């Protein structure tokens, strides 16, 4: 059972509760997290039951949701005690660590203190648990799986970064320099034993990401943003924008090494979270304000969206054509593509498909990690 005492700060616990509520069917996005944080910081979190009423007003839209919210709140905030600790009073670090470690063991991803090392059977179980996490649709993750996926994703992105750098370095060898090869091998009697190649000047690429945070993307945008934060930690040449009815640049907000701090910074900028969808108008705004700065022949443009545009198709068509012409490659990843039987029949997808270099899924970690093959050749 997820509980606030499993977190090392009140801010982290509040974000954890937001995730917990989402897994229980509440349709609350990052804007709700922002409002909950601001409400808590006003001091009301120290007063019970006022804190419950305050959160309920943010999380619940119907009387049915209110009835469901109360036991959910008690389970997370009260069952192990009645006082919610602030950041400065989280001093029971040993118990927190033990709870986290036990969770890892139960999921097959950690070591039992009594056993010391995992036997072959448990290693297999751990591998299966990781594979399950990587292949689970973001919309179906439990609160515990979500926390474990964060750790797994950050490590896999770091490993992906190292592989990409190594592979790009190996492909950096250019054509053979005959003259230099002959001169360097004169001491060997003129027999060319070692060939020398000219270093190929490889153009640095920039990854431009446009993330759809409209209401229809609520089940996925939170996890996609987490993945982009991990990418930003290891690929500094990334620019990130969010869009729905507005366009916002959030690159600087993702720079913080603490993900919770980064997300709180994003929430203050992304005031359009969980709103409508005007893909064409947002892409047109990007072209008008940012394309000269961020788009050139070495830019790989990635759009993460379900394509459910409610605007005029002509606007989207014109905007996507301009982005396609100015990008080295244009990639569109759609969470809906991970569903069995999905066909891109939405009006927005029909408009953009002819301009894309690649159309893929973005419903789980495995689908996102396929970006490695794209980035290697960028």
The confidence score (pLDDT) of residue 33 equals 65
- The structural domain count of the chain equals 4
Q: Is 297 helix (H, G, I), strand (E, B) or coil?
A: coil
Q: φ and ψ at 101, to 5 degrees?
A: -65, -40
CATH number at residue 268: 3.40.50.410
The confidence score (pLDDT) of residue 112 equals 36
| Pairing status of strand 197-199 against strand 173-176 | antiparallel
The confidence score (pLDDT) of residue 57 equals 75
User: Same structural domain for residues 179 and 223?
Assistant: no
Q: Which region, left, alpha or beta, applies to residue 62 given φ > 0 means left and ψ of -120 to 50 means alpha?
A: beta
Tell me the CA end-to-end span of the chain in Å, nearest whole number: 44
Please count the other Cβ atoms lying within 10 Å of the Cβ belonging to residue 283. Answer: 27
To which H or E segment does residue 210 belong?
strand 206-212
Q: Which region, left, alpha or beta, applies to residue 341 given φ > 0 means left and ψ of -120 to 50 means alpha?
A: left
Residue 143 maps to a domain: no
β-pair partners for 249: 241
Q: Is 197 helix (H, G, I), strand (E, B) or coil?
A: strand
The confidence score (pLDDT) of residue 2 equals 73
Radius of gyration of the chain (CA): 24
- Per-residue pLDDT in tens (0 to 9) along the chain, 378 residues: 577 777 766 777 777 888 888 888 887 776 676 667 666 655 555 555 567 777 877 788 787 888 888 888 888 877 664 444 433 333 443 333 333 333 333 233 343 333 333 333 334 455 687 888 899 999 888 767 777 888 888 888 888 888 887 776 655 455 666 666 666 666 666 555 565 566 555 556 789 999 999 989 988 998 999 899 988 888 878 999 999 999 999 999 998 888 878 888 888 888 788 888 899 999 999 999 999 999 988 899 999 999 999 999 999 999 999 999 999 999 999 999 999 899 999 899 999 999 999 999 999 999 999 988 888 766
User: Same structural domain for residues 82 and 21?
Assistant: yes
Q: φ and ψ at 331, to 5 degrees?
A: -115, 135
User: Same structural domain for residues 295 and 182?
Assistant: no
The confidence score (pLDDT) of residue 212 equals 96
Q: φ and ψ at 67, to 5 degrees?
A: -65, -35
The confidence score (pLDDT) of residue 177 equals 61
User: Same structural domain for residues 103 and 83?
Assistant: no
User: Same structural domain for residues 230 and 281?
Assistant: yes
Block residue for tokens 């509760």: 17
Instruction: Give me the domain span that covers residue 119.
Output: 93-135
User: Same structural domain for residues 222 and 359?
Assistant: yes
Cα–Cα distance measured from residue 188 to residue 133, given in angstroms and rounded to the nearest whole number: 57
Q: pLDDT digit string (tens) for 37-90?
A: 666 655 555 555 567 777 877 788 787 888 888 888 888 877 664 444 433 333
What is the pTM (predicted TM-score) of this model? 0.64
């Amino acid at each position: 059972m997820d509980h606030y005492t499993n977190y090392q700060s009140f801010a982290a616990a509040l974000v954890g509760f937001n995730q917990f509520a989402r897994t229980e069917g509440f349709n609350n996005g990052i804007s709700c997290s922002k409002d909950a944080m601001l409400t808590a910081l006003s001091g009301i979190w120290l007063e019970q039951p006022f804190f419950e009423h305050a959160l309920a007003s943010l999380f619940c839209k119907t009387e049915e949701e209110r009835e469901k919210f109360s036991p959910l709140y008690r389970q997370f905030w009260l069952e192990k005690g009645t006082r919610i600790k602030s950041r400065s009073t989280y001093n029971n670090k040993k118990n927190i660590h033990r709870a986290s470690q036990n969770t890892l063991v139960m999921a097959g991803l950690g070591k039992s203190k009594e056993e010391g090392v995992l036997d072959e059977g448990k290693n297999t179980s751990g591998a299966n648990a990781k594979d399950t996490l990587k292949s689970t649709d973001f919309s179906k993750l439990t609160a515990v799986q979500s926390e474990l996926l964060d750790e797994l994703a950050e490590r896999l992105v770091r490993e992906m970064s190292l592989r990409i750098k190594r592979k790009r370095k190996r492909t950096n060898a250019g054509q053979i320099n005959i003259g230099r090869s002959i001169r360097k091998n004169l001491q060997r009697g003129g027999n060319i034993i070692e060939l020398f190649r000219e270093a190929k000047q490889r153009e640095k690429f920039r990854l431009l990401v446009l993330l759809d945070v409209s209401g229809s993307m609520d089940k996925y945008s939170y996890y996609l943003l987490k993945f982009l934060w991990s990418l930003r930690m290891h690929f500094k040449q990334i620019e990130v924008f969010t869009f729905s009815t507005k366009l916002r640049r959030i690159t600087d907000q993702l720079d913080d090494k603490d993900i919770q701090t980064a997300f709180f910074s994003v929430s203050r900028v992304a005031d359009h979270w969980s709103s409508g969808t005007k893909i064409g108008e947002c892409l047109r705004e990007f072209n008008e304000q940012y394309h000269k700065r961020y788009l050139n022949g070495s830019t790989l443009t990635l759009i993460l969206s379900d394509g459910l545009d409610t605007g005029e198709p002509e606007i989207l068509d014109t905007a996507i054509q301009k982005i396609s012409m100015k990008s080295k490659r244009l990639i569109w990843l759609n969470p809906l593509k991970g569903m069995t039987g999905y066909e891109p029949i939405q009006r927005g997808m029909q408009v953009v498909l002819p301009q894309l270099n690649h159309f893929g899924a973005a419903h789980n970690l495995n689908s996102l990690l396929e970006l490695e093959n794209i980035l290697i050749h960028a």
